[in-house]
Amino acid sequence: MNFITFSLFAQPATIEGYAPAYKGKTVYLSTCKDFITYTPLQIESATISDSGKFKFQLDDLKRTTYVYLTIQNYKGDLYVVPGNYYRVVFPAPDSDHYQNQYIEHKVNLELYIDDSAEVNNLIMDFNTQFEKFWVKTYTYFLKKEAPRYVDSFYTAMLQRYKTIHNPDFTGYMTYTVAEISNNILEGQKTLGEKYLKGKPILYNNYEYMQFFNDYFKDYMQNCTTTREGGDINKYIAKPDYPGLMEVLKINRLLRNDSLCELVLLKGLYEFYYSGGYDQENIISLLKTISGTTKIEEDKKIADDMLASFSGVVRGGGAPDFALKDSKGEVSSIIDFRGKLVYLCFFKTTSSASISQMEVLPALYKQYGKKINFVFISEDENYDDLMNFLKANKSFTWNFLWDEKHKVMQQYDVKTLPEYFIVGTSGKFLRSPADDPSHGIESTFNDLTRPVKEKEKK
């Protein structure tokens, strides 16, 4: 939740943490570049000491900023205000419940902040009030009779916090309620009038943007099926930015140029991945918005989208890296040019990774002259990879170690194992690719017969 409150002057903020269950592990401090692409931005990383402590210093912080701490696959968030000091306890893994170690799990950080009116304390109090409200009224949600109860809850919260003049918290509260109302299918016209029409666009407010994204999910695609919005496809094919804006403004809610342009950005982002539109036309439209918009936030979002498109998508260039290999030397993605690259992110403690790897010696023997097999280890320590290779002598292809998981983030890897195929020119041909035991052999046959013609397509 990167809020909208700005400090007149940049100030530092300090986070001191305690995570005794993760001694020697790496903790990452990150945020999001924007709240449409949700592109992660790693701020810092630190190794948790033998006493379980870690510390982050955020210099020159200009506004209240949503950040999240990640240790292995556990993630907890908080809101950092310029000039403030935070004591944070990262909870140990929950041993009472099954936790899939290859899926991200949300945890609740324990925060110790002296000021009761600080945004995190206010949010925790609000969430406690909502839990009480939910216990009393959840049966009405099941019966789809919840809207009037949600309105009553919101009115009660406005009264509870009437002496609080913290726009960060107000944004959190208002758009949390808006998102609840959206989830219970309160009328779209009512929600738009209540929470969007005539309201400022809170580009940096996580709750506002979550509500915005859900409210306008598939909006442009749905418009293409109506008489009024039928010209959307024509204007994308041209491509014609002013024409698209005019079509969207048929909706009275979008007569506001800023809101209309943001809806257009979201729609173009969805269209790019839908498979139904020429991606070059989408890119051209985004470049037009980036070059002509008067709204700095829209330019940033358009640029983030363009950057993400050139990354881990079919036809985009594979991000470069420099990683230590199993011989202790540094290897780059460029070192494997000239052949196709079958790229895998894995972990030696992942049973899913290892079960797939067991079929690879035969594939490597068959295709190794035409395809570079490059496997990137996400183990915490280089020695873990080396010990694994000593115990598996038949695994003779290229193994690299991703220290602090930086390349994993570059490639936007969410689960392990994950596979990609990179062409001889360094562009993705499959993103993601099939795993070794589910169809990859037919893909290999197709791409290697002949390679150059395949990459031109």
| Alpha carbon distances (Å) from 281 to 222, 239, 247, 278, 431 | 19, 6, 17, 6, 21
**Any residues with CB less than 8 A from the CB of 408 and at least 6 apart, and which?**
345, 376, 378, 402
* Alpha-carbon span 422 to 333, nearest angstrom: 9
Strand arrangement of the beta sheet that strand 85-89 belongs to: 53-63, 6-18, 85-89, 110-112
Q: What is the mean pLDDT of residues 433-446?
A: 84
* Alpha-carbon span 200 to 170, nearest angstrom: 13
SS3 72: coil
* pTM more than 0.85: no
pLDDT in tens, 124-149: 999 999 999 999 998 888 777 788 89
**Per-residue pLDDT, 450:** 62
Topology, domain 322-456: Glutaredoxin (3.40.30)
If one counts every other C-beta atom within 10 angstroms of the C-beta of residue 23, the result is: 13
CATH superfamily of 6-114: Immunoglobulins (2.60.40.10)
Average pLDDT along the chain? 88
Q: Are 396 and 317 in contact (CB under 8 A)?
A: no
pLDDT in tens, 201-221: 999 888 999 999 999 999 999
Would you place residue 102 in the very low, low, confident or very high pLDDT band (cuts 50, 70, 90)? low
The token pair that represents 328 in the structure block: 């202790």
Residues forming a β-bridge with 29? 44, 69
Distance of CA 349 to the CA centre of its chain: 25
Strand arrangement of the beta sheet that strand 74-80 belongs to: 40-47, 26-32, 65-71, 74-80, 105-106
Closest CA to 358 of 390, 392, 401: 392
pLDDT in tens, 279-333: 889 999 999 999 999 999 999 999 988 877 755 656 677 888 999 999 999 999 8
Site of tokens 């002509």: 292
Site of tokens 């051209």: 284
- Map 170-221 to HEC letters: HHHHHHHHHHHHHHCCCCHHHHHHHHCCCCCCCCCCHHHHHHHHHHCCCHHH
pLDDT in tens, 149-165: 999 999 999 999 999 99
Q: What is the mean pLDDT of residues 55-83?
A: 90
Q: Is the pLDDT of residue 172 over 70?
A: yes
Q: Is the pLDDT of residue 7 over 90?
A: no
Would you place residue 183 in the very low, low, confident or very high pLDDT band (cuts 50, 70, 90)? confident
Q: Is the pLDDT of residue 457 over 50?
A: no
